[in-house]
Amino acid sequence: NAGVTQTPKFRVLKTGQSMTLLCAQDMNHEYMYWYRQDPGMGLRLIHYSVGEGTTAKGEVPDGYNVSRLKKQNFLLGLESAAPSQTSVYFCASSPQGLATPHQETQYFGPGTRLLVL
Amino acid sequence: RKEVEQDPGPFNVPEGATVAFNCTYSNSASQSFFWYRQDCRKEPKLLMSVYSSGNEDGRFTAQLNRASQYISLLIRDSKLSDSATYLCVVNTNTGGFKTIFGAGTRLFVKA
């Protein structure tokens, strides 16, 4: 099992450009998450998905969109990148996704470093 | 006030030392608690869940104090390989799923 993988590993964008970050998991997990991590701050939840075809907003959703067309993939889109979106982006997944998502271990991908100039 | 607060450190300890980290949380409705470990430029990985009764995994002991709204992590007999950032995570499913990560406590174990 590859676990959780993220593409790309690193990207530089100019302000206003768009891009999509891809997250894939091969563990048949129900829940998937997108976080950003900035210096001096904890990981902040951007969006999450409780199953194929569903998405929900997290703590900092503005400026991002997501899609979960297939169970194994969770895409994070930046329509018009801004310097404030320079960050490290982590995707995660968790297995059960029933009534107790808050009790579940999250498995993280290796991260994508994004620099917006 | 942050919802989850940790002392950022760094904690610099010699090998073999015992070190303890605390994490406080503000939402009394919080339901689940975890410690994750994050190595430099790597992804977070689960270290252990934290239960009300306390739990131990080898050299690591986690405790939860709901009345005072804090969790702790104790590392005994520190190893060089314990050097990392330790993240406190607090989850709730009341009024919708919410997961809050602390900013982390950095630990350096030196020979």
What is the tens place of the pLDDT at every residue in B48-69? 988 788 889 999 999 999 999 9
- pLDDT at residue B29, as a whole number: 86
Mean pLDDT along residues A54-79? 96
Chain B CB within 8 Å of residue A100 CB: yes
Condensed to tens digits (0 to 9), the pLDDT of residues A41-62 reads 889 999 999 899 999 999 899 9
Chain B CB within 8 Å of residue A39 CB: no
Measured between beta carbons, which residues in chain A are less than 8 angstroms from residue B8? 40
Mean pLDDT along residues B71-97? 91
Task: With cut-offs at 50, 70 and 90, classify the pLDDT of residue A113.
Answer: very high
Could you list the beta-strand ranges (E) of A1-117: 4-7, 10-13, 19-25, 31-37, 44-49, 56-57, 65-67, 73-78, 87-94, 107-108, 112-116
- pLDDT at residue B30, as a whole number: 87
Calpha distance B43→B39 (Å, rounded): 7
With a pLDDT cut of 90, the percent of chain A lying above it is 79
Calpha distance B43→A45 (Å, rounded): 15
Does the pLDDT value for residue B99 go beyond 90?
A: no
Task: With cut-offs at 50, 70 and 90, classify the pLDDT of residue A100.
Answer: low
CA distance A63 to chain B (A): 20
Chain B CB within 8 Å of residue A12 CB: no
Mean pLDDT along residues B3-26? 95
- Name which of B42, B98, B102 is nearest A42 (Cβ-Cβ): B102
The SS3 of residue B19 is: strand
CA distance A29 to chain B (A): 16
Measured between beta carbons, which residues in chain B are less than 8 angstroms from residue A110? 42-43
With a pLDDT cut of 70, the percent of chain B lying above it is 99
Chain B CB within 8 Å of residue A60 CB: no
Asked whether A107 and A27 are in contact (CB, 8 A), the reply is yes
CA distance A69 to chain B (A): 21
Count of beta carbons in the 10 Å neighbourhood of residue A55: 19
- pLDDT at residue A102, as a whole number: 56
| The pair of three-digit structure tokens given for residue A68, joined into one six-digit string | 């979960």
Chain B CB within 8 Å of residue A33 CB: yes
Chain A CB within 8 Å of residue B27 CB: no
